[in-house]
Amino acid sequence: MVLHSKPAIEQLSKANNCAAFLGGIPLIDLSKPDSKAQLVRACEDLGLFKVINHGVPADLIRELESEAVRFFSLSLSVKEQAGPPDPFGYGDKKIGPNGDVGWVEYLLLTTNTHNFPSIFGEAADKFRWLVNEYISAVKKMACEILEMLAEGLRIQPRDAFSKLLMDEQSDSVFRVNHYPPCPDVQGRNLIGFGEHTDPQIISVLRSNNISGLQISLKDGRWISVPSDHNSFFINVGDSLQVMTNGRFKSVRHRVVANGSKSRLSMIYFGGPPLSEKIAPLASLMQGEEDSLYKEFTWFEYKKSAYKSKLADNRLGLFEKIAAS
């Protein structure tokens, strides 16, 4: 599937809802005292921001990326021994069970147990250790951000969001995507990973210094997100949008293929326990404000999302329809 670019970023200043992009994607220093307000504003305006002083060791990032590159450099027949992703494992081109495809190969792993097949050989123990250490570090960062958001919204308790990730039954996943060079791009936007929102609470993305990530603005136009391998990108997920009754925005995004360079990204998707009920927090409802969403469990939403195509409005089935 080939999609074409929308107007370039310099043209976006004409649109009122594009003001956030005039200075680029919000960059937030988590060590600064005003970071709570910046985090809340970024989640309200865009649903995407990047953070520095995040506490994830640079050496750990480099080592895990190196092991991932080594894995994806193996022959397809060897990599396929680690698949298919049902639900976890290696996948190539096919994304999910509903016909979505992209110029991508990937490893999808649970964050609770890591049973690496014999394909990893002697490297299995090292890879397992690196994945565990990395997940632990980014989970800690994600929880810190969620607690700062709760404070910024004046929500009590402070762990109203983060406790869902810290729960032993948290249904979080870790994904490593590899987008090989695609010589057929020739100036077109060949889709590496189709447009979608993330269904979980929060997503923590790290990629190498190759561009490809794009996000959709409120008016439907797509813009490219400049790569930044020194920062982590944070996405608001559908579940957090519901818990804030639409105050925070789950950002629609996609990845386009590169004609000559390989892109590697690693994403931690922080999800709640399967039995957790997802609904707007009562403490955020102002006056006679109505809930925009029906209450649902994470299991119900995950099951519904799994049956949908990437580009579907997954929350649509759970929105309360106002009487006309």
Catalytic residue list: 263
Helix then strand then coil, in percent of the chain rounded to 5, is 35, 25, 40
DSSP β-bridge partners for residue 100:
95
**What are the Cα distances from residue 295, in Å, to 50, 89, 243?**
30, 31, 10
Backbone angles phi, psi at 204, to 5 degrees: -120, 115
What the block records as the tokens of 219 is 């008016």
Report the amino acid identity of residue 256: V
**What are the Cα distances from residue 266, in Å, to 108, 286, 308?**
10, 37, 23
Task: Name the strand (E) or helix (H) holding 92.
Answer: strand 89-95
What the block records as the tokens of 27 is 């960059």
> Are 253 and 235 within 8 A, CB to CB?
yes
Q: Is the dihedral of CA 316, 319, 320, 324 positive or negative?
A: negative
Q: How many CB atoms lie within 10 A of CB 89?
A: 18
> Are 262 and 181 within 8 A, CB to CB?
yes
Tokens 């008016």 — which residue? 219
